[in-house]
Amino acid sequence: MITSLMRTYLTRSLQPFTFTNQYDDKLNYEQTEQLGLYVHIPFCRTLCSFCPYCKETYDAKQAQAYLQALLQEIDLVGQMQQGRKQVTSLYFGGGTPALMLQDLATIIAKLHTYFAIEGGIGVELHPGDVNETVLQTLKAAGVTMISLGIQSFQAESLHALGRTPVDFARIFQAVRQAEFSVVDVDLIFAIPGQTTKTLLADIETAFTLGATQISTYPFIDFTFADNAYKPLPEQQKKQMLQAIATYCAETGRERTSVWTFAKTNTQKYSSVTRDNFLGFGVSATTLLKDQFKINTFSIHAYIERIEQGQLPTALTLKFNLRQRAVYYLFWRAYSTEINQSEFKQFFDVDLHQLYGLEMWIAKIFKLVVLVNGNYQLTTKGAYYYHLIEQAYTTAYIDRMWHVARTEAFPEKITLK
Ligand SMILES: C[S@@+](CC[C@H](N)C(=O)[O-])C[C@H]1O[C@@H](n2cnc3c(N)ncnc32)[C@H](O)[C@@H]1O
Ligand code: SF4
């Protein structure tokens, strides 16, 4: 309800976000600046009950067929431009990309034929896959950033998530030796049995063992997940998020987004806050100036489509100006800063012309402050953002993924 009201008001329209199965055969990204790349590897050794992402249990034969399709999708999309495009970064998410370790260099080489990757290359890693050989192979392939899905260092919290502890000291020794520019550690908060004390201890452990930044996600109970234990109530989430923010501020770690905190003087990396990106693989999304598209979630259907020489797109949303501006502002606000001149450059219209009143109200309620002409989220603003992000995750992401998991090519999805 609250999400519908906000969408209606901010887009100044009753028109919901409508994804349909009509899409372009050509993606118009040639003139797009600040373009990122994303590759999805949908295989895991075992499937975690809490995890909503698109993945299946690893099978070597299926992974090889998937690799061939992925390389062909890169050809299909890469050939839509003249020449070689500069892109900001490349991120491998999953799933567990390390299960295709030997293939990552092949995928990177294929991407290099069409794209010059200027910034870093990032990879998500399950702690169970981290050892010296894996890390050295990643480094040799050009990976500069890793994100470790630790979730918690406490046996009790891991148990509540259906995981078992691993030898964290050994893993982080290998990580420190490999010397990546960015080491992100994912932690989940509001796990049943967790306390603020154990959570803050986890944060300290992560930084002490070698994290350059941490991502602290509130535990979300997706409707299609199979959680034996449910997340702690919102009131406790609120207290925990405040405690994380206070602790990080007091210990000199900088807030780099609503849910990420980093050591000062280190390179920052985010897999989500890109203005435009091309996504490859099942469930991967592509965001351009006027459209958002999502690939099929079915590995079988993905391979079949690619073999027919077609894009594996399942659904596309064509943005109008205000819808695109709301989407842009949503992710900029997540990064805690809205830069007015960058907004103007992107949309060719002043932020205040579209949302002057809303920014004024946000300032009056102390959700944002103006610093050197840019809006910065306050701690209070970050808390309200956290609430909104969770509401949209339930109303939009959960709903969309729920349908996409059951139908390879749905006709239409309407998000109100
Ligand atoms: C694609 S997943 C995991 C990457 C890697 N395969 C792993 O298991 O370590 C990325 C991150 O999303 C977060 N996540 C997954 N499910 C979640 C949930 N239900 N609630 C909150 N965070 C979640 C976890 O912190 C996880 O590390
Ligand atoms: S949390 Fe990681 S390992 Fe577990 S199912 Fe999700 S992607 Fe796979």
pLDDT tens for 345-401 read 999 999 999 999 999 999 999 999 999 989 999 999 999 999 988 888 887 888 888
Ligand 1, closest atom to CA 53?
1
Size of the chain, expressed as the number of residues it contains:
416
- Residues enclosing ligand 2, CB less than 6 A? 44, 47-48, 51, 53, 55, 94-96, 126, 149
Domain that residue 161 falls in: 17-263
Using alpha carbons only, give the angle 161, 167, 172 rounded to the nearest 5 degrees. 105
Residues 6+ apart with CB under 8 A from 193: 156, 157, 160, 229
* DSSP-derived secondary structure letter, 250: H
- Ligand 2 probe mutation, 44, 215, 401, most atoms within 8 A of CB: 44
State in Å: Cα 346 to ligand 2 middle: 35
Task: Answer whether residue 153 is part of any domain.
Answer: yes
Task: Answer whether residue 295 is part of any domain.
Answer: no
Helix (H, G, I), strand (E, B) or coil at 331: helix
CA distance 254 to 248: 7
Burial of 186 (0-12, 13-18, 19+ CB in 10 A): buried
**How many CB atoms neighbour CB 150 within 10 A?**
26
**How many CB atoms neighbour CB 197 within 10 A?**
9
Task: Answer whether residue 281 is part of any domain.
Answer: no
Ligand 1, closest atom to CA 187?
25
State in Å: Cα 251 to ligand 1 middle: 26
- pTM here is 0.94
Protein residue closest via CA to atom 7 of ligand 2: 95
Task: Answer whether residue 356 is part of any domain.
Answer: no
State in Å: Cα 1 to ligand 1 middle: 27
Task: Answer whether residue 97 is part of any domain.
Answer: yes
- The pLDDT tens digits of the residues spanning 291-319 come to 999 999 999 999 999 999 999 999 999 98
pLDDT band at 140 (very low <50, low <70, confident <90, very high): very high
Enter the tokens of residue 301.
């259907």
Q: Minimal CA–CA distance to 146: which of 97, 209, 199, 202?
A: 97
> Across the chain, what does the average pLDDT equal?
92
Q: How many domains, in total, are found in the chain? A: 1
Read off the CATH number of the domain in which 177 is found: 3.20.20.70
Q: Which-ligand-closest: CA of 222?
A: 1
Helix, strand, coil fractions of the chain, as percent rounded to 5: 45, 25, 35
pLDDT at 122 over 80: yes
CA distance 299 to 95: 13
Protein residue closest via CA to atom 3 of ligand 2: 44
Task: Answer whether residue 364 is part of any domain.
Answer: no
Q: Minimal CA–CA distance to 381: which of 341, 340, 329, 345?
A: 329
Q: E-assigned strands of 246-284?
A: 253-257, 260-263, 276-280
- The pLDDT tens digits of the residues spanning 217-241 come to 999 999 888 888 899 999 999 999 9
State in Å: Cα 51 to ligand 1 middle: 6
pLDDT band at 154 (very low <50, low <70, confident <90, very high): very high
CA distance 7 to 13: 8
- Ligand 2 probe mutation, 43, 46, 57, 126, most atoms within 8 A of CB: 126
Phi, psi of 246 (to 5 degrees): -65, -45
- Residues enclosing ligand 1, CB less than 6 A? 50-53, 93-94, 96, 124, 126, 149, 151, 186, 188, 217, 219-220, 222
Give the position of tokens 């994303």.
38
Task: Answer whether residue 3 is part of any domain.
Answer: no
Task: Answer whether residue 270 is part of any domain.
Answer: no
* DSSP-derived secondary structure letter, 224: T
Higher-pLDDT residue of 14 and 19 is 19
DSSP track, 106-119:
HHHHHHHHHEEE-S
CA distance 52 to 66: 20
CA distance 129 to 314: 31
DSSP track, 169-210:
HHHHHHHHHH--SEEEEEEEES-TT--HHHHHHHHHHHHHHT
- The pLDDT tens digits of the residues spanning 165-206 come to 999 999 999 999 999 999 999 999 999 999 999 999 999 999
